[in-house]
């Protein structure tokens, strides 16, 4: 018998009904496809700005380059950008970029400067590998390495594998996505942000795009060998890279996650029933999580940056609790 996810959809209706979220699309999938998909104050196929869910999607592109022998996690950023780090006495490698341990100082989310210039000029926050601080600009470095070996823009490389699993509406074109209702109040100029085509935050898409990717990842966990990643490559992506190094704001140690190869590994999350989970959230409330042991992936798309009273762990627990 298929599980019902009424509690999860009730959670979404409560958040929208109370005004804590302006809209919500919630979907659940297993390795065979979508199990449940519903929307509140939205359509199930509405497109949303995904923000930082972009990071693991670009991470998959980087991992695919690794399994082709074009990169390794140890590849230095200077391979693609020889002038990077001229004033640094450390080496920033791909593994640092994808695990928020590169120590590159972070610009504003809506910086008007070209992201490549920001990457090359922002300076050092800490020595690579000595601490973990959440970084979006680091994924401009991931994009540089991917583009160097694939010889095409990072977003085209993501689209090349995503479309093969049915995720065919992912795009850096954010026109027509659900507006972030409080972006200005949160201090972000969305026009300036969209113009960046940010490889750490710039994709838009539908819930069913992410669910298609979640189903594919679950098939790989089940031993599928003809997918977007080999089982060994996916296992590499899920190895923790942050260990016990200091965790700096906004992800201090008490938040309970490790960083893998572009994935947030919530292996120590205090609010979850099931900690066998990886995925990513986004600035305006988007969520994408995969529970390999439970055989479930789920998505929440919404559009508010400041969300007091909204705890996505409640939604995760409602989905896992239904199995």
One-letter-per-residue 3-state SS of 6-31:
HHHHHHHHHHHHCCCCCCEEEEEEEC
pLDDT over threshold 70, residue 198: yes
For residue 67, give the H/E element and its range. helix 54-67
Name every residue whose Cβ is closer than 8 Å to that of residue 45 and which is 6 or more positions away in sequence: 206, 207, 208
Query: What 3-state DSSP class applies to 308?
Result: coil
pTM of this structure: 0.97
Domains and CATH numbers, the chain: 6-321 (3.40.710.10)
255 pLDDT band, cuts 50/70/90, is confident
pLDDT of residue 2: 66
Using one digit for the tens of pLDDT, what is the confidence trace for 68-109? Answer: 999 999 999 999 999 999 989 999 999 999 999 999 999 999
Asked whether the beta carbons of 245 and 131 are under 8 A apart, the reply is yes
**156: number of Cβ within 10 Å:** 12
Alpha helices in 110-230 (DSSP H): 115-121, 138-150, 154-162, 190-196, 207-221
Using one digit for the tens of pLDDT, what is the confidence trace for 201-224? Answer: 999 999 999 999 999 999 999 998
């Amino acid at each position: 018998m298929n599980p019902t996810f009424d509690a999860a959809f009730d959670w979404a209706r409560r958040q929208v009904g109370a005004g804590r979220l302006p809209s919500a699309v919630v979907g659940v999938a297993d390795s065979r496809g979508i199990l449940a998909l519903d929307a509140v104050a939205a359509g199930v196929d509405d497109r949303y700005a995904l923000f930082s869910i972009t990071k693991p999607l670009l991470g998959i592109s980087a991992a695919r380059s690794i399994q082709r022998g074009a990169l390794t996690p140890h590849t230095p950023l200077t391979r693609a950008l020889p002038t990077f780090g001229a004033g640094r006495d450390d080496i920033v490698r791909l593994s640092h970029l994808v695990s928020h341990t590169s120590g590159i100082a972070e610009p504003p989310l809506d910086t008007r400067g070209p992201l490549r210039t920001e990457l090359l000029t922002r300076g050092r926050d800490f020595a690579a590998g000595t601490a973990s601080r959440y970084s979006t600009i680091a994924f401009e470095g991931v994009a540089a390495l991917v583009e160097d070996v694939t010889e095409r823009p990072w977003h085209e490389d993501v689209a090349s594998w995503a479309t093969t699993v049915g995720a065919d509406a992912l795009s850096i074109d954010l026109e027509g996505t659900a507006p972030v209702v409080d972006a200005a109040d949160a201090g972000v100029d969305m026009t300036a942000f969209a113009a960046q085509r940010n490889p750490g935050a710039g994709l838009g898409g539908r819930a069913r795009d992410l669910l298609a990717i979640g189903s594919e990842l679950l098939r790989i966990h089940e031993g599928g060998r003809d997918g977007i990643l080999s089982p060994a490559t996916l296992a590499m992506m899920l190895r923790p890279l942050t260990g016990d190094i200091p965790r700096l704001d906004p992800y201090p140690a008490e938040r309970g996650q490790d960083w893998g190869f572009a994935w947030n590994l919530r292996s120590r999350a205090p609010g979850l029933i099931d900690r066998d989970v990886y995925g990513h959230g986004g600035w305006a409330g988007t969520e994408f999580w995969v529970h390999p042991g439970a055989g479930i992936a789920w998505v929440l798309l919404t559009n508010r940056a400041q969300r007091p009273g909204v705890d996505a762990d409640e939604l995760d627990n409602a989905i896992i609790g239904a199995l």
